[in-house]
Structure 1
Amino acid sequence: MEAMSSQRTSTGPDRAARSPLLFVLAAVACATALGWTYWAFVRTTTGQFADESAWREAGVAAPDTQLPFLRFLDTLPTISVVLAAAAILFVTLRRKRYGAAAVAVAVILASNLTTQLLKNVVFDRPDRGVATLAFNSLPSGHTTLAASAAAAIFVIVTPRWRPAAAALGGAYSVLAGAATFINLWHRPADVVAALLVVGTWTLLGGLVVMRTGEHWNNWEGFGAHWASSRWWLVLCWVLGLGGLAVSAVLYVSVHAVGPAPEPGTANVPLFFWWGLMWIIGVGFTLAAAAGRLFAAQAGRTAVRGQRP
């Protein structure tokens, strides 16, 4: 009788970012959402009124939080630069991932340059009859800096750390954006636009990182490490989609009952809560989607049993 034996054969790792079109389409979706945000809340009367109302109501709805948020905003550039620089230096000097470090720096520079060009050169703020500041402030520079620093860390860490990096980076970005809003530095649409700018460049930069670093972009699956627990992304999905749903309900409700005749004069600051939930929703949804896409597109080593 012929002896039966079992042999385990490794087929080698699947290629990282094996569906690059997904990254490109996701980046295009972010850029499209950015364009829609500008059109809807800067170019239209209804959008300008809602955005301006949220900004003015922030000073009434959250007066006690402005001093702590101001202190945080004062240190935000330093915190962001230190965090990103530490991560980039670590992967450069310790892990020898020079290409990934270069891409991470490029994501930061491209995001912040794009924001400044859009805000100061490309976009303008037309007069739509709403009492508001005449100059354009979309996208937010402070939010872009914070979110791009978090994005740089996200794209250069190994796959098992990316779920945690997505959740923590998303929280940091949302906190920075909410701080600029509550402290009356920016309107909600400015913050959301900044998050979408960074999201666009993160997806494009991540595609390059995964395709040029396939030897370390290998995914062991959810739960292989505490930082790769799926609960990081579940939390982001809950906060993100929940925030978007609440913001949509608030926006529809305030227009259904009729907004105040002038921005910021409503008895109940519904526009403020709409803006805050919109920021939370977009920030965490982007974090969850990026974490899921990068996990799905990381390389895998497939091992199968063969019986001759």
Structure 2
Amino acid sequence: MTTSLPRPQRRAPAAVAVLLTGAVLCALAVVATYLLAVQTYTGQALENQGLDATYGAEKHPAAFSLLGFVGSPPLILGALAAVILLGALTRSRSTGRRRVRYGVAGAAVAALSIATTEVLKSTLPRPDLDLYGTGLPLHNSFPSGHTTVAAGIGLGLLLAAPPVLRALLAAPVVFVTALVAAATIVTGWHRVSDTIGAALIAATYFFLAATLTGLPERTTPATHHHSHAPAHLPSPWPPHPTRPHPRPTRQATPTPYTPY
């Protein structure tokens, strides 16, 4: 009799370490971007120069329309539902199970990224470092909400998608995120550091979710180890000694009596 037992899938500790390191580095990069670009005179001056050179929503109507589309609440909710649905409709090649947890994790990446951005934007200060001479705190635009929506939903799709589809979606996700980030800059809605911080926030949650859900996934069916058991198992007790059977004695056939 042959039995097939699925071998449990275990990731190498190095894979987990890489994902956790990526999350920590992205989180630290968010802090560094804010401190250098927002809390220093040089950072604010450089970004304001670039902002003044490209400002003007009336010069870029397509960019303004794109931002209105990306920031639409129905679009955001529909995208979150699509991420969950993508995970629920696909199956793992290694286990054959539906990838619901990947869809839920992908939606969580987008939702947590957007929520974190809104909290930071409303709480982080942006001091006036003698650039305008008011001495009063300025309106903080760090990080960019629209860029966070694009990056968070895009990375959520990559997390929910199976490995083959993930490779095909990677380039479009990067392109759309960069396009939305550029639109926020040319319309004067955000500075460069705002878009960088937004992308890093989404990347932080992506790495954390990838660690919890078990990325990278196996792309081949799990190997099975086979147990071959004989049909008739030997008895664990030693056999009893047997006596040799006595050889049957041949009886002589009586000779019939013949009278003389």
Distance 1:159 1:85, change over 3 A: same
Equivalents in 1 of 2:187, 2:77: separation in Å? 21
Equivalents in 1 of 2:127, 2:163: separation in Å? 44
Aligned to 1:58: 54
| Deviation at residue 86 of structure 1 after TM alignment | 2.0
Q: Given that residues 155 and 209 in structure 1 are in contact (C-alpha distance below 8 angstroms), is that contact kept between their aligned partners in structure 2?
A: no
Equivalents in 1 of 2:84, 2:219: separation in Å? 21
Q: Given that residues 156 and 209 in structure 1 are in contact (C-alpha distance below 8 angstroms), is that contact kept between their aligned partners in structure 2?
A: no
Aligned to 1:92: 88
Q: Which moved more, 1:21-30 or 1:156-165?
A: 156-165
Aligned partner of residue 136 in structure 1, secondary structure: coil
Give 1:104's match in structure 2, choosing from 106, 112, 119. 106
- Give the counterpart letter for 1:97 in structure 2: R
| Deviation at residue 16 of structure 1 after TM alignment | 4.1
Distance 1:126 1:171, change over 3 A: same
- Give the counterpart letter for 1:33 in structure 2: A
Equivalents in 1 of 2:90, 2:223: separation in Å? 28
- Give the counterpart letter for 2:150 in structure 1: A
Aligned to 2:218: 218
Aligned to 2:70: 76
Aligned to 1:26: 22
Equivalents in 2 of 1:94, 1:25: separation in Å? 29
1:190-229 mapped onto 2 (5 Å cutoff):
190-210=194-214, 217-219=217-219
- Correspondence 1:161 to 2:170: no
| Deviation at residue 152 of structure 1 after TM alignment | 0.7
Unpaired runs of at least 5, structure 2? 1-5, 92-97, 225-260
- If the length of structure 2 is used for normalisation, what is the TM-score? 0.71
Query: Cα RMSD (Å) of the superposition?
Result: 2.7
- Give the counterpart letter for 1:194 in structure 2: A
1:232-243 mapped onto 2 (5 Å cutoff):
none
Q: Provide Cα deviations, 1:50-88, integer angstroms capped at 9, x if missing partner.
A: 11111111127x964x10011111111344543442232
Distance 1:17 1:67, change over 3 A: farther
Aligned to 1:116: 118
- Give the counterpart letter for 2:177 in structure 1: S
- Give the counterpart letter for 1:218 in structure 2: R
Give 2:139's match in structure 1, choosing from 135, 140, 159. 135
Aligned partner of residue 185 in structure 1, secondary structure: coil
How many residue pairs get aligned? The number is: 207
- Give the counterpart letter for 1:43 in structure 2: Q
Aligned to 1:225: none
Unpaired runs of at least 5, structure 1? 1-10, 221-299, 304-308
Q: Provide Cα deviations, 1:22-69, integer angstroms capped at 9, x if missing partner.
A: 111111111111111101110000000011111111127x964x1001
Q: Which moved more, 1:16-25 or 1:29-38?
A: 16-25
| Deviation at residue 219 of structure 1 after TM alignment | 3.4
Equivalents in 1 of 2:218, 2:165: separation in Å? 11
Distance 1:119 1:100, change over 3 A: same
Larger of the two Rg values belongs to structure: 2
Equivalents in 2 of 1:162, 1:16: separation in Å? 19
Aligned to 2:179: 175
- If the length of structure 1 is used for normalisation, what is the TM-score? 0.61
Aligned to 2:190: 186
Using the aligned pairs only, state the percent identity: 29
Aligned partner of residue 28 in structure 1, secondary structure: helix
- Give the counterpart letter for 1:106 in structure 2: A
Aligned partner of residue 134 in structure 1, secondary structure: coil
Give 1:41's match in structure 2, choosing from 34, 37, 46. 37
